[in-house]
Amino acid sequence: MIRQPAVAGQFYHGSPSALRDQVEGFLQLEARKVKALGIVSPHAGLMYSGSVAGAVYSRIELPGTFVLIGPNHTGFGPPLSLMAKGTWETPLGSVRINEDLATAVLSNSRRIQDDSIAHIREHSLEVQLPFIQYLKKEFTIVPIQMLDTRYDTCVDLGNAIASAIAEYKDGGTLIVASSDMSHYISADTAKKKDHLAIKRMLDLDAQGLYDTVRNEGISMCGFGPAVAMLTACKVLGATKAELVKYTNSGDVSGDYDQVVGYAGIVVS
């Protein structure tokens, strides 16, 4: 199956040349790079969150494979949807799914289902690809969408990914948790709430992140993917996390009364 772009020309520029220029404007090509196990990267329209995503991707050594975990905004598909075969298209070209690693993830959990329906109209993973495509010529992906964000499900997914990566051992793998932070509250309130969640991520505390988001009413749309990513990274030996950049949509729109927050985090 070829998964066609769902938000080209909306969330990011639709032509190859314009998209390359757009992505390049957000990158920091001279930044010091680290070998990472996982990242948190936002997924709003690039005009709003591209500076954060660009800062994150500029800070890491890019491996050969990316496990992409995003929240399912559309409601289509099963609770955990992994597209195990095919390619994804963007204006910058085709990206092949890593079928071997996808199969390994599926074999390590009974909760994850091989499904493409959840991915057809969902944007949270698609907007990550132009950054990777700009920086790396050849790579593969394992795309996963989450509707079910119960803690046990997040941990199960994280453990399945960690086990699969440990089995795979071919060219390095990065786990990408696609998430925006607080939605449609004032910039000051968003910053306070978001940094409660960010602190838990910097502590590599998956359970703490889950509890904080729930208890504090933080409208972080990708907290499930972030909990799964942190779980997997801890199993794979992560020892630290760094906040690369935090901002909000008001810095672009000028409206600080109703913002969406964006955080970029590197786990190594």
Cβ neighbours, 10 Å, residue 10: 11
With pLDDT > 70 as the criterion, what percentage of the chain qualifies?
A: 100
Give pLDDT tens digits for 156-215: 999 999 999 999 877 799 999 999 999 999 999 999 999 999 999 999 999 999 999 999
Q: What are phi and psi of 145, to 5 degrees?
A: -115, 140
Q: What is the mean pLDDT of residues 67-96?
A: 98
Number of domains in the chain: 1
Which CATH number fits the domain that encloses residue 113?
3.40.830.10
Q: Model's pTM, two decimal places?
A: 0.98
Q: How confident is the model at residue 63 (pLDDT cuts 50, 70, 90)?
A: very high
Q: SS3 string of 146-160?
A: ECCCCHHHHHHHHHH
User: Residues 123, 113, 174, CA angle at the centre, nearest 5°?
Assistant: 55
pLDDT value of residue 15: 98
Q: For residues 46 and 52, what is the distance between their CA atoms, to the nearest angstrom?
A: 9
List Cα–Cα distances, 231 to 27, 137, 193, in angstroms: 28, 29, 22
Give pLDDT tens digits for 108-124: 999 999 999 999 999 99
Q: Which domain holds residue 94?
A: 2-267
Cβ neighbours, 10 Å, residue 136: 13
Cα of 101 vs its chain's centroid, Å: 18
